[in-house]
Amino acid sequence: MTSLFLRWAFARAACARGYWLVTSVYLVVVADLSPAQLVLIGIVQGITVVVAEVPAGVLADTVSRKWSLVVAHLVSGAGMVMAGLVTAFPTLVVSQALWGLGWAFASGADVAWVTDELDRPDLIDRVLAARARWELVGAAPGLLGFGLLATLTDLRTAVVASGLAMAGLGAFVAIRFPERHFTPAVAERRWHEAMSILRRGVDLARRDRDMLLVLAAWLLVNGSAEGYGRLFEKRLVLLGFGGTARPIVWFTALALVAYALGAAVLRAVEARIEGEGVAIRAYVWCCAAGVAGTIAFAQAPDVRWAIAGALVVRGVVGPVIRAVAEIWVNRRTTSDVRATVHSLLSQAENLGEIVFGFLLAAIAFSTSITAALMGAAVLLAAAGVVVSRVPPAGRTVRAHGRIRRAGGRGADVAGGGRGTAP
């Protein structure tokens, strides 16, 4: 089960990372979007995901985690293909909204599926950390493959090919992923069961003060990431990154180095993640490193300093923070609402992108890219302060057993319960 999950994560990352490499350059070089448009396209994508996120998580907890993943691949694949066929700003917005909608169906469903199907509370933290590492490892063939395709043909062809590959991966999920430890609600009571799952998931997150702090920090982290990520290519191009050569070659090389660095750091985190307080300490230290890297990137006098800052932010901070936040929330979540609670984490991510994305877009439009990037550094610093208030250890829900439903009248968790954080 672990091997199957990690192979899928590897392949999905190859499609997604390769897609975003060629698409991010496509949006700047071919579609010629302005800095404000680059940020705004992410805001619209975020709004789409916020609207769909929690309903998608509830659907996964009510009907099927596996088939939520299949739908996710098909919808994302459609958006990816569309992006390569258009250049007008409004239609590019629609394509990225579809891309985000697909990830809304996947977020939470993937973690819930592997947690319950694996049914190994002693192993799941390391599996999720390994998943984050293998996503970075999988990025390498995706970057090389789709980057080479873009070099040999053009950016448009590579974008469309990545979308077709993502849709094809959905067929792999449909054929190979079992779903033995999940019983869907009976059709006649699905609406009632869905509302019950939604109430229980929101109540679990609302009553857990530490989880609320992590959700707030995650909102700030992704507000920062929205400004940084949407302006990354534009900033490097303005500094002369790649010179007169084809920019896709240089962006591919930079991304490969960043992912190799991130995989090495995640390997160290994976070996220690079950230690007391490791997740929270890693979160705080990564925020601090991210502030330094973002400032270096924003204030870089030349492309060398910008690359150094980019390697810290993209190679270390982003992947590690995402992994430890996901692991920490998964520890405190019961099996019957697992996808729903993870969708709340993802919703905080997209709310951060929307709320602070508007602010950073306004700063980029009225002042400069540098000012917007400095604003992103401030948000990341605030996230570190917030999450530092979370105790390193505390009461943790260890409910990794299967879901049992009797006639759709609710759920109980077999073999789970409250325990003490490791």
What's the structural domain count of the chain?
Answer: 1
Cα 16–chain centre separation: 11
Helix, strand, coil percentages (3-state) for the chain, rounded to 5, are 80, 5, 20
DSSP per residue, 5-51: HHHHHHHHHHHHHHHHHHHHHHHHHTS---HHHHHHHHHHHHHHHHH
For residue 406, the enclosing domain spans 2-420
The CA-based angle 113-70-201, given to 5 degrees, is 45
pLDDT by residue for the chain (422 residues), tens digit each?
A: 899 999 999 999 999 989 988 998 888 888 888 877 887 887 788 788 888 888 888 988 888 999 999 999 999 999 999 999 998 899 999 999 999 899 889 988 999 999 989 888 888 888 998 998 999 899 889 988 998 898 899 899 999 999 999 999 999 999 999 998 887 777 777 778 888 888 888 888 888 888 888 888 988 988 888 777 777 877 888 888 866 556 777 877 888 888 888 888 888 888 888 766 788 888 888 899 989 998 998 888 888 898 898 888 887 787 888 888 888 888 888 888 888 888 888 888 878 877 887 788 788 878 888 888 898 899 999 999 998 888 765 444 444 444 434 333 333 322 333 233 22
DSSP per residue, 137-196: HHHHHHHHHHHHHHHHS-HHHHHHHHHHHHHHHHHHHHHH----S--PPPGGGHHHHHHH
Instruction: Give the per-residue pLDDT at 17.
Output: 87
Which tokens go with 93?
A: 């917005």
Q: Cα(302)–Cα(300) distance, rounded to whole angstroms?
A: 5
Instruction: Give the per-residue pLDDT at 242.
Output: 67
Residues 6+ apart with CB under 8 A from 212: 205, 206
Instruction: Give the per-residue pLDDT at 236.
Output: 84
At residue 103, φ and ψ (nearest 5 deg) are -70, -25
Partnered with residue 404 across adjacent β-strands are 412
Q: Cα(188)–Cα(407) distance, rounded to whole angstroms?
A: 9
CATH number where 151 lies: 1.20.1250.20
pTM: 0.78
Instruction: Give the per-residue pLDDT at 408.
Output: 38
Q: Cα(135)–Cα(152) distance, rounded to whole angstroms?
A: 25
